[in-house]
Structure 1
Amino acid sequence: MVRQRGVTLIELMIGIALLAILALAIFPLGRAWVANAQITKTEKEFLEAYSRAKNEALRNPNAVKEDDVAATLKVNNTDKKIEVINSKNVVIWEAVISPLITVTLSTGCTTGHQQLTLNNNGYLRTDSCTLYNIAASGGGNNASGTL
């Protein structure tokens, strides 16, 4: 009696179908994981930008008076940038954010642009401009906080 080894075409098709079903089940989990990683990275960069803007405002190298803008943190969702700008309107630090990420500031921050302005004491010039929200279009858990 001759014994044949190997798999039949039907067994192979069933194995491929099972692998495809597993791959389809795992794909959304992977996409959410990537989105969460991008949200976390963007939140760290946003908080770093806020820290640098506050530091620039406190140093006040251009001798800005208390009621004037000593530093600005600007969020540009179109160009996907977060920028820190000094009182002479020069970008002193910037970070590029993922195309899937959107950073939203409080409604008090949206006077033409989404930006935070700080005086020479490092305080936000608008009291209603303290909240931020970071979201990804590919899913994931949004990050939000208060400055």
Structure 2
Amino acid sequence: MLTVFEEGFFDVPELTRLPEEMADIEVQTHDHQGTVRVHQGLVQCAEFPVVVITSNGERDFPPAFLRRCLRLDLPLPDEERLRTIVTAHLGADAMREADDLMAAFLRRRALGELATDQLLNAVFLRAGGVDLDAEGLLDAVLHQLTGAM
């Protein structure tokens, strides 16, 4: 990616290995609306790209990469935002029966790291008729992401 950021090009190894008589090849564009010619596997940017990358913080990025980034740290969603997220993904009906799941999620998140998709999974299971109280299933769905398991 650093090559693209710095130089505005990258090569496709599978195309660079083609014989000279196949140096120019037509490839389909991402939108499937046409084709472009790639010469010797080299893809040259007409304009430098804007790349959006998300990270959950599980890995460190090299300093050379980070120097080229505009970092935006998002706060953990509060209860109102979580309700909006659940409703957007699963619908208002699913959220109507999930107050206890929301409370359990917020209580457990205060004690350690949980991801929003864990709440979504719990509400999805409940909406599908799964008894989350049976055999500690809620504990399995809302398990802490850091520390001992």
| TM-score w.r.t. length of structure 2 | 0.21
| TM-score w.r.t. length of structure 1 | 0.21
Tell me which structure has the larger Cα radius of gyration. Answer: 1
Question: Does 1 or 2 have the higher relative contact order (CA < 8 Å, sep 6+)?
Answer: 1
